Each structure stands twice: as structure tokens, then as C-alpha cells.
Amino acid sequence: MSFYITTPIYYVNAAPHLGHAYSTIGADILARHHRQRGEDVFFLTGTDEHGEPVALAAEREGVTPKELADRNAARFEALMPRINASNDFFIRTSDPRHKERVQAFMQRVHDNGYVYKGLYEGWYCPRCADFKSENEIAEGNTCPIHRIPLDREEEENWFFRLSAFQEQLEQLYATTDWVAPPSRFNEARAFITGGLQDVSLSRAKLTWGVEVPWDPEHVFYVWFDALLNYYTALSFGAGERDRTQELWPVTLQILAKDILKFHAVIWPAMLLAAGEALPQKLFIHGYLTMRDAAGEDVKMSKSLGNVLDPFEVMDKFGTDALRYYCFREVSFGQDGAVSTAGFESRYETELANDYGNLASRTIAMIARYRDGATPDAEPDAALAADFEALDEEVVDLLDRAEITQALERIWQRVRRLNRYVEEQAPWKLAKDPEQAAKLDTVLRSLAEGLRVVTVLLHAYMPETTERLMGALGQDGGFAIGTARFGEGISTHPARVTPLDPPLFPKQ
Ligand code: MSP
């Protein structure tokens, strides 16, 4: 079974910030989870390099758009291994192979009769690189996202007959639930039922873009070129051969609500216009916000300048801690505020204490009381009952991209294991030779519980879980089928190795 997952491709007009890392980590958690399920995963991310915003930023900096794109694309590309993203390819829309495929695709749209020439006039946001419809304009003709004045623009260009897809899109929303969560599905549907207008497809003024094959004086409007990355990448980014047939349509697309309209309305219409299958699912997450001086939560964005630098956080606390924090603090799908203080507090109480300390204590007790060999005893049935069907719950939630909820279920078991230590007080059992069998059961149960949560946490915190699995002397890997309580160890007494330094050292 194949699982093809994407993130938005990021604009190269500025450096990456935590908001970009967030989408990519979310997609990475799902990609890793599906690999644990043995699926043929293809995970794509990359950069969106054409269009007005990049051309404008380059002009401001006195470099060519290509120079700016190369410089900033390199920073995004470097971010990926740093956040432990396991993307299989990094697409850059300035890649000539992408351009060729965009042209071929759009030529099909043209030949199928969905393109015409016309005059466009409207309010345009140069940062969004988008003309705004009436209900998207904030007070004083400003952009509601970027809070800058909109430009009144008029030009002759090519149009995409979006209106021709009114019925098919209404039908799509009447018969599927392809956009999640439901609030975003409703938003997209309302946009469609409000009546679709044709959208402009090319730019005459701009040169930084993909040339329109039937009219080389124009370049494609950046969104047409950008959305197609999800499709073009399969022909040259998925190995030696063209894998479009195997991997299209895409299984799951992750994005935030700022670009909902493009993905949930225009994108399916483009695919219909070319006769291609539609994505199976879009999952729309919310914004990471930061509290401003007035106590208001504001979207973290480069244009507002209120960004957390993911590199700094990772330098201090490690990549896994950042991956954990983002999805613990902010429910995937909703907006939520992040802060350095919030991060430090969860690091301390949850990562260092709940999980790190549980791991250190369990291993230290096995070392001390059983000379480092995990006892081959039957695990405690009462504890086993509390782990019953946990793997299925997690799989079920992650099937719906409920990353935060799945993490919460796993963490309930981490806490359960901590309570188990307190209830059983192994240090007391160790003092009484008659309790030796009981102590075996307790130590084995702790090691087993720890192993199960560690398999399930692997997608979230790949480095930490690898390390802990090694320290537990387990070599069974991370296949999801092994996330059953009672299915580890048994055949050979696993030898533990003390964790030094601890998984999450106190800062
Ligand atoms: N280039 C377009 C997308 C084209 S996709 C075919 C674009 N780029 S962007 O650099 O502005 O990135 C937007 C995406 O980055 C959002 O949809 C979201 O995935 C992520 N985020 C940027 N800021 C974010 C937050 N503050 N919070 C959460 N996600 C954020 O739009």
C-alpha cells in the first residue's frame, strides 16, 4: 500500500521559521507512522520560488530572484534534516523538470477548453501574490493576513474557467469528506456555493515564473505553478523512474488555513480540468501564534516579525523536544499560542520528568536489582489491561491526522507507568527476598510498558526513541505490530544499559 503525503512548499522570500517547521514536522510524524505500518511512503516538501513576493524581495535586497531563491531554498533544505524530517524529496519550483511538467499539464488544461484571454481588474496583495475577492478585503482596502494596503491592478491575462467546475465541486463536497477538520470543509464548501468566478492564470508584467507555452510573453500566476509541485515531483523526484502512476492521487496533503481556498477549490478544479484524479484528503491545521505586548495572540509570521527561531530552540533543547512541544501544546487543527516559557515548562515536567525520568529509573532499577538483565517474567495483567488496544487507538487517530490526540493517549500511559512505579515501590520489594518474583513482574512490566510507549512515540521523537530502545536492549525495531503490551522481550533476557546522560537533561 502506498502513502503519499505533502506539505505546502514554502516561499523563499524569507528565512524559515517555526510555522514552517510545524507543518513539516506534522507531516513527518504521519510519514514515519505509516512507515512503521510497513507502507510504501513518499513524503514531499520543498520551496515555492516564483512569483511576485520573491521578485519583490529580491529587488529590495538588490539581487536577482534566482540568487535569492537559491540562498533561501538552501536554508529551507537545511532545516529538514535539522528537524529530523524524513522527506523523500525536496522539490524546488525553479527546477527545469518541474517547469516542463507544469507547461505540459497546463497545455492540457488549455487544450481541454478551460483557458481564455481577458481583462482583469481587482485588489491585489503582493505578499499573498493574490487578487482578493470582496469578502477577503479588510478595512481600508488592506490585506487581512499581512495588514498592508492592497494595490488596485488591471491587466490583460489568461483566465482559468473555474466557474465551469461549479457543479462538479459542489458534488465533490456533497459526496465526500475530503477536507478535514469539518470547520474547514464547511468554509471551503461555503466558498463554492457562494458562486465561483474565473481566476486569472498568468501575469504579463512578471518575468520570474514559468512561461505560458501558448503565449511566452506571460508567465503562470505563481499559484498554478506552485500547486502543481505535488504532481510534477512524482515524475522526477521519486527515484529513477516516473512514479506518477503508482503514487497519484496523493493520499494526504497537510497545510494551514491561510491557503485553504487554493487547495480546496482551485486545486481540485485544475486537476479536473486536466482529467486527473483528486487528492484523497486535505488536512488543514491552524496557526502557531505568539502573544503580543497587548496580550493578543497573533499569527507567527515573517511579515509581522514575531517568530520563534526553531534553530535556536533546537540548539538548546534538542530536535525531539521541539517536535514534541509543538504537537503537545497546540492541538493539530486548531490555533494555539507557543512561547519559550511554555516550552521550558513542558520540557521540564513532561519530557524530563514523566518520560525521561521513568526511563532512567526503570533502567537503573533493572541494573541494580537484576544485574542489568530484564527478568523474563509474565507482565502484570492489571497494567496490561490499561494498555489494551492502545495501538489501535493511536492508529485510528493518526488515520485522521489527529496527532495531538494520539500523543495524549500515549502520554496517559506514560503517566500510568509513573503511577505504577509509585504504587509498586520496587525499592521496597527489593529489600524483601520473599518478594523476588513480584519484583521480577514489576520490573518486567515497566520495561514492557516503556517499550510499548517508545514504539508509539517513535514517529514523534525518532532520536530519543532509538536511543531508549537501545538502552532497553531491544532490537525488535519500531514496526507498529510490536506496540502490543506483552509482546516484547520474552525470548531472550534483554540487557539494559544505563542512560547517561538522561534522555532529557535538566537545563
Ligand atoms: N508558497 C505558498 C504555499 C504553496 S503550496 C502549493 C505559501 N508559502 S508560505 O511560506 O507562506 O507557507 C505557508 C504555510 O506555512 C502555511 O500554510 C503553513 O503550513 C505554514 N505556516 C506558516 N506560518 C505558520 C504559522 N504561524 N502557524 C502554522 N503554520 C504556519 O503560502
Indicate whether 295 and 375 sit together in one domain: no
Please work out whether the CB of residue 150 comes within 6 Å of at least one atom of ligand 1: no
In a domain, 328, yes or no: no
Indicate whether 99 and 194 sit together in one domain: yes
Indicate whether 293 and 344 sit together in one domain: no
Q: Write the CATH number for 361.
A: 1.10.730.10
Indicate whether 347 and 245 sit together in one domain: no
Active site residue 110: no
In a domain, 493, yes or no: no
The label of the residue with cell 465533490 reads: 172
Cell of 482: 510490536
E strand map for 151-309: 151-160, 179-180, 199-200, 202-203, 211-212, 215-220, 252-256, 282-285, 288-291, 297-299
Query: Which 3 state secondary structure label does DSSP give 402?
Result: coil
In a domain, 13, yes or no: yes
Indicate whether 14 and 163 sit together in one domain: yes
Ligand 1 center from residue 7 Cα (angstroms) = 9
Active site residue 326: no
In a domain, 333, yes or no: no
Q: DSSP assignment, residue 34?
A: H
Buried b (16+ CB within 10 A) or exposed e, 4-42: bbbbbbbbbbbebbbbbbbbbbbbbbbbbbbbbbeeebb
Please work out whether the CB of residue 11 comes within 6 Å of at least one atom of ligand 1: yes
In a domain, 310, yes or no: no
Which atom of ligand 1 is the closest one to the Cα of 229?
Answer: 6
Indicate whether 414 and 272 sit together in one domain: no
In a domain, 288, yes or no: yes
Of 249, 275, 299, the domain-final residue: 299
Distance CA(152)–CA(149), nearest Å, equals 10
Q: What is the pLDDT of residues 314-326, one digit of tens each?
A: 888 899 999 999 9
Q: Which of 20, 110, 281, 285 is catalytic?
A: 20
Of 248, 274, 299, the domain-final residue: 299
* 278 class by beta-carbon count within 10 Å (0-12 exposed, 13-18 middle, 19+ buried): middle
In a domain, 378, yes or no: yes
**Full domain range(s) for residue 107:** 2-299
* 111 class by beta-carbon count within 10 Å (0-12 exposed, 13-18 middle, 19+ buried): exposed
Indicate whether 291 and 347 sit together in one domain: no
Ligand 1 center from residue 255 Cα (angstroms) = 7
Indicate whether 399 and 255 sit together in one domain: no
Domain count, the chain: 2
Please work out whether the CB of residue 20 comes within 6 Å of at least one atom of ligand 1: yes
CB-based contact 343:317 (threshold 8 Å): yes
Please work out whether the CB of residue 278 comes within 6 Å of at least one atom of ligand 1: no
Q: Please, what sign has the CA dihedral across residues 81, 257, 306, 143?
A: positive
CB-based contact 224:254 (threshold 8 Å): no
CB-based contact 461:439 (threshold 8 Å): no
Indicate whether 118 and 220 sit together in one domain: yes
Distance CA(431)–CA(427), nearest Å, equals 7
Distance CA(95)–CA(21), nearest Å, equals 22
| Residue-by-residue pLDDT tens, the chain, 507 positions | 999 999 999 999 888 999 999 999 999 999 999 999 999 999 999 999 998 888 888 888 999 999 999 999 999 999 999 999 999 999 999 999 999 999 999 999 999 999 999 998 888 888 876 777 777 788 899 988 788 999 998 888 999 999 999 999 999 999 999 999 999 999 999 999 999 999 999 988 778 999 999 999 999 999 999 999 999 999 999 988 999 999 999 999 999 999 999 999 999 999 999 999 999 999 999 999 988 778 888 887 777 777 777 788 888 889 999 999 999 999 999 999 998 888 999 999 999 999 999 999 999 999 999 999 999 899 999 999 999 999 999 999 999 999 999 999 999 999 999 999 999 999 999 999 999 999 999 999 999 999 999 999 999 999 999 999 999 998 778 999 999 998 765 446 689 999 999 999 988
* 112 class by beta-carbon count within 10 Å (0-12 exposed, 13-18 middle, 19+ buried): middle
Distance CA(251)–CA(404), nearest Å, equals 20
Indicate whether 279 and 402 sit together in one domain: no
Nearest CA to ligand 1 atom 12: 10
Amino acid at residue number 36: Q
Distance CA(228)–CA(48), nearest Å, equals 11
Indicate whether 104 and 251 sit together in one domain: yes
CA-based nearest residue to 326, from 280, 354, 371, 286:
286
In a domain, 494, yes or no: no
Q: Write the CATH number for 111.
A: 3.40.50.620
Indicate whether 282 and 385 sit together in one domain: no
Please work out whether the CB of residue 421 comes within 6 Å of at least one atom of ligand 1: no
Ligand 1 center from residue 307 Cα (angstroms) = 13
Say if residue 182 is preceded by a cis peptide, omega within 30 of 0. no
pTM over 0.75: yes
Of 284, 299, 314, the domain-final residue: 299
Distance CA(470)–CA(71), nearest Å, equals 39
CB-based contact 430:439 (threshold 8 Å): yes
Helix ranges (DSSP H) in 400-435: 403-424, 426-429
Q: What secondary structure does DSSP assign to 293-337, as a single string?
A: TTS-EEE--TTTT----HHHHHHHH-HHHHHHHHHHHS-TTS-EE
Active site residue 34: no
CA-based nearest residue to 485, from 419, 408, 394, 406:
394
Residues near 395 by Cβ (< 8 Å), separated by ≥ 6?
Answer: 37, 480
